[in-house]
Amino acid sequence: MLILSVEFYKGSVDMQKKISSIPFKGTPEQETELKKFIEENKHDKSRLMAVMQAAQEIYGYLPMEVQMMIADGMDVPLEKVFGVATFYAQFALSPKGEYNISVCLGTACYVKGAQAVLDKISEILGIGVDECTPDGKFSLQACRCIGACGLGPVMMINDEVFGKLTPDAIPGILAKFNA
């Protein structure tokens, strides 16, 4: 039984990853699949990470509603689920947008100014890393080397690679995606 309200919960944690404000759109089929997996694993609390990984595969990220289902089903505190979700980089608290932007922060890109590129995108879209715009259109991620170091700084928007980036080039690129 969960006794912690989400509102209290949101305000109680100093979060590096922000909880998405995008409305949760889970389907009954997804819920059935997750609950089945929880049922198979709830006897062993050390399976919490495995359940969270399964949940992320099912939903694509771990919204608060899903974390609550996991906490309830595994009979662990919601804080514990949230703590794991925020600690491990593999877990996402926001969905991917229609356009997912991955800025490479690998060494070669970083020394050529990738952080300034990332900051510019963040400024224009009004979101930080691992967040999604409220309309679900853009999400922003930092990634490791994608093997195009000679073109650095580079970013990908879905499958398209953009290289030799500067902060000044970003508005024009994003405008093509109606940002």
157 forms part of the interface with ligand FES (CB under 6 A): no
Q: Is 106 in the site for ligand FES (CB under 6 A)?
A: yes
**149 binds ligand FES per the rule CB under 6 A:** yes
Nearer to ligand FES, 7 or 159 (CB): 159
Smaller CB separation from ligand FES, 4 or 146: 146
DSSP 60-101: SS--HHHHHHHHHHHT--HHHHHHHHHHSTT--SS---SEEE
Closer to ligand FES at the Cβ: 125 or 154? Answer: 154
Scored b (16 or more CB within 10 A) or e, 43-77 reads: eeeebbeebbbbbbebbebbbbebbbbbbbbbebe
- Assess 155 for contact with ligand FES (CB under 6 A): no
- Using an 8 Å Cβ cutoff, are 132 and 139 in contact? yes
- Binder among 109, 117, 129, 155 for ligand FES (CB under 6 A): 109
The letter for the amino acid at 160 is E
Instruction: Please count the residues of this chain forming the interface with ligand FES, following the rule CB under 6 A.
Output: 12
With respect to ligand FES, which residue has the nearer C-beta, 53 or 122?
A: 122
Q: Is residue 103 a contact residue for ligand FES (CB under 6 A)?
A: no
Binding site for ligand FES (CB under 6 A): 104, 106-109, 145-149, 152, 154
